[in-house]
């Protein structure tokens, strides 16, 4: 029974709900931020099942590890980029970000983008500065445990992101 679970929408101090947006090719996807209290630890979740999103984007957060490579890259963009934006919207500015497996790896790009925009750094400077606070661990060190994306799929989803940073795509990759 969803309404009896310890899951609650996250709100700003003024009472408005927190939503984050990520850009995908030709569209913007919105996710609502939810909080689950797990003992003393807050767990934040992102939900794209919103009427404002296209039907195929409403399904991004439906199923863990679900779908084809296109769905997986959209899930990982939302988790990495959208997740870091959700923390920022809540006023949480982590010094260190832990990525367990590669699922949230795109947060490294978003951390660099935030430094680039917020401190006037170049992309190489921002990438180096943000990497000092990125920690990666894996518990599945076999090929099946790693997400690999075709370069054309990465180009499709990140060409505008790279351009927004004024970075040639080959340098960005």
Pairing of the two strands 27-38 and 7-9: antiparallel
Count the alpha carbons within 13 Å of 108 in the hemisphere toward its beta carbon: 20
CA distance readout (Å), 106 to 33, 73, 95, 101, 125: 18, 10, 16, 11, 17
Residues of the chain with pLDDT under 50: none
**Residue 74 carries which DSSP code?**
H
CB 44 within 8 A of CB 55: no
The pLDDT of residue 141? 81
- 130-164 pLDDT, tens digit per residue, is 999 999 998 888 877 778 899 999 999 999 999 98
- Tell which residue, 53, 61, 9, has the closest CA to residue 33: 9
The pLDDT of residue 135? 94
């Amino acid at each position: 029974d969803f309404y009896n679970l310890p899951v609650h929408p996250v709100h700003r101090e003024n009472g408005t709900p927190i939503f984050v947006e990520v850009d995908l090719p030709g569209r913007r996807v919105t996710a609502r931020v939810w909080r689950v209290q797990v003992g003393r630890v807050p767990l934040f979740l992102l939900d794209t099942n919103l009427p404002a999103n296209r039907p195929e984007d409403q399904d991004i957060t439906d199923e863990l590890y679900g779908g084809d490579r296109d769905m997986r890259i959209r899930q990982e963009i939302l988790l990495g980029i959208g997740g870091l934006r959700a923390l920022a919207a809540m006023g949480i500015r982590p010094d260190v970000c832990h990525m367990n497996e590669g699922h949230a790896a795109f947060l490294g790009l978003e951390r660099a983008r935030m430094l680039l925009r917020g401190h006037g750094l170049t992309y190489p400077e921002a990438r180096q500065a943000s990497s000092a606070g990125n920690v990666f661990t894996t518990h599945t060190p076999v090929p099946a445990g790693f997400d690999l994306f075709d370069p054309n799929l990465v180009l499709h989803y990140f060409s505008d992101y790279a351009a927004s940073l004024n970075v040639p795509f080959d340098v960005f990759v």
